[in-house]
Amino acid sequence: MVTIAILLSGFSIFSALILAFSHFRSINYPEQTQTRYMGVVLVLTLASLQLIHFIYLQLDLSFIHSGVYQMLLFAVAPAFYLFSKPLLKGPGHFQVSHLAHALPVIAGYWLPASIAFPAAFIVGAGYLLWLSHSLYALREQRSRFYLELTMLGTAFMIALAVLIMVLSLPNLDEKLFFSLYASAIGGAFILINLAINLSPRLPTKITEAASETYATTTLSNVDCDAALHKLTSLMTVDRVYENNELDLQTLASQIDLTSHQLSELINTRLGKGFSRYMREQRVDAAKSMLLAESSASVLSVGLSVGFTSQSNFYDAFREITDMTPGKFRKIGSISTPE
């Protein structure tokens, strides 16, 4: 068990670093600055815990009894809450009340270990109940991400098992407990990587599903047909999608709508989220350019229609057409008579 825990601890540390530098980017979390930063805080907190577990299990150095370790224990749940809330409830501004989530973290440094361990996990259970309640509200849209919710359910079971272990800690061998806890965190990182690889747009999907579930209509005084006509004109005539810095708020102002109104308009009338809509507009424009300008490089085409990098262009093109831009151009050139 100890060997498995050591291996999973090492995996977690490197996985966290990769996620911190590659996954939490604006393209994956559009207009979700808080979520991006708190996601980095969350994975680095878990990586720090795993580093301490590794040192304890491999070198038998007991940093697990330090105040810093206890602070890290208390930090996991608030970080996950502040990461999840904007995805499920919509982006918001920083509020002074958010600082209250740091109070248990600070207190964790001074608490006796006999109190700190169960307290940290009981606090975590409270945050877990909030998350489960929020996700339950999305039950009608579970078909949109059934596999991901199954993985999340597995993560819940892991968290519940850890809580039971913590409450049984006085009767468990210390090394066995930390081996199991390190393995549980490692298992969570495996689930995170599976979810991201199987559904790279999962954060956007959850945000769109949540906005449809929670939002009250903001379009009661809006001429939706006229707004849609203006939106179409901005895309087809003005080609505003070519601006790679175009965001929801900027586009909404050009149609004389608020960002919430435009988001709801696209969701309810077009059946997709803003990010998906923009990717489709750019990919459609790229498809025309790939065939019309055969001498232009694939990268130059992607950049000219508003993508910020080759990887972003390829990912979006594959998502929408199920093929690479190069393959699309090759098939199109064969099917188009000279």
Give the domain ranges of the chain.
2-210, 215-271, 275-338
Distance CA 54, CA 64 (A): 10
DSSP secondary structure string for all residues of 184-232: HHHHHHHHHHHHHHH-TTHHHHHHHHHHHHHPPPS-TTS-HHHHHHHHH
pLDDT in tens, 107-128: 888 988 888 888 887 888 788 7
pTM tops 0.85: no
The yes or no reply on domain 275-338 and CATH 1.10.10 is: yes
pLDDT in tens, 174-187: 888 888 889 888 98
Question: Beta-carbon neighbour count of residue 174 at 10 Å?
Answer: 12
Q: Residue 102: CB partners within 8 Å, gap ≥ 6?
A: 78
- How confident is residue 148, by pLDDT bands cut at 50, 70 and 90? low
pLDDT in tens, 153-172: 666 666 666 666 666 666 66
DSSP secondary structure string for all residues of 248-315: HHHHHHHTT--HHHHHHHHHHHHSS-HHHHHHHHHHHHHHHHHHH-TTS-HHHHHHHTT-SSHHHHHH
